[in-house]
Amino acid sequence: MNYRAIISTTIFVFVVHCGYSSAAVIPPEWADVRVNPCAKASWQYLFWKSDGKCYPIFKQGYPCPATMELVFDSSTKEAKCQCPSGRLYWEEDGRCYEPFTPGPCPEGSFLHPGQEVQSRGMQRQDPLRRTLHQVQAWLGQQYEPSKVEPLGFVHCKQRGYCPANWGFWPATELCYPFDSQGPCQSGSLFRWNVVTQQAECGCQSAVIYQSSTKNDTLAGSSWRPFFWPISAPCHEHHTNGPCKLGEVFGYNQSAQMTQCSCSKQLPSYHAESGQCFEKYTRGPCSVGMWLTSHPLDLPQYSMPASVRPAQSTRSKGSKTRKYSNTQPVANNRRNSIKQSLSCYCLPGFVYSEEDDQCFREYTQGPCRSGYFFIRSDEDDIKSPGLCWKNPCARQELYLPESQRCYAIHTQGFDSKKLLLLFYSMTDHIKVIVYLTF
Q: Each residue of 286-329: pLDDT tens digit?
A: 999 999 988 888 787 888 888 777 654 444 444 443 444 443 33
Distance of CA 418 to the CA centre of its chain: 25
pLDDT at 245: 94
Alpha carbon distance 98, 87 (integer Å): 5
Which residues is 382 bridged to in the sheet?
none
pLDDT at 347: 86
Q: How many CA atoms lie within 13 A of 153 on its CB side?
A: 2
Alpha carbon distance 347, 97 (integer Å): 43
pLDDT at 249: 96
Q: Each residue of 191-212: pLDDT tens digit?
A: 988 888 889 999 986 544 433 3
pLDDT at 274: 95
CB 291 within 8 A of CB 128: no
Using pLDDT thresholds of 50, 70 and 90, give the confidence band for residue 30.
Answer: confident
Q: Each residue of 231-261: pLDDT tens digit?
A: 889 999 999 999 999 999 999 999 989 999 9
Per the rule left: phi > 0, alpha: psi between -120 and 50, beta: everything else, 94 is left
pTM > 0.75: yes or no:
no
Judged against a pLDDT cut of 50, whether residue 130 lies above it is answered with no
H/E stretch holding 422 reads strand 418-424
SS3 breakdown of the chain: % helix, strand, coil, rounded to 5? 5, 30, 60
Using pLDDT thresholds of 50, 70 and 90, give the confidence band for residue 128.
Answer: very low
Using pLDDT thresholds of 50, 70 and 90, give the confidence band for residue 221.
Answer: low
Outline where DSSP puts E strands in 170-293: 174-177, 189-193, 198-202, 248-252, 257-261, 269-270, 275-276, 289-292
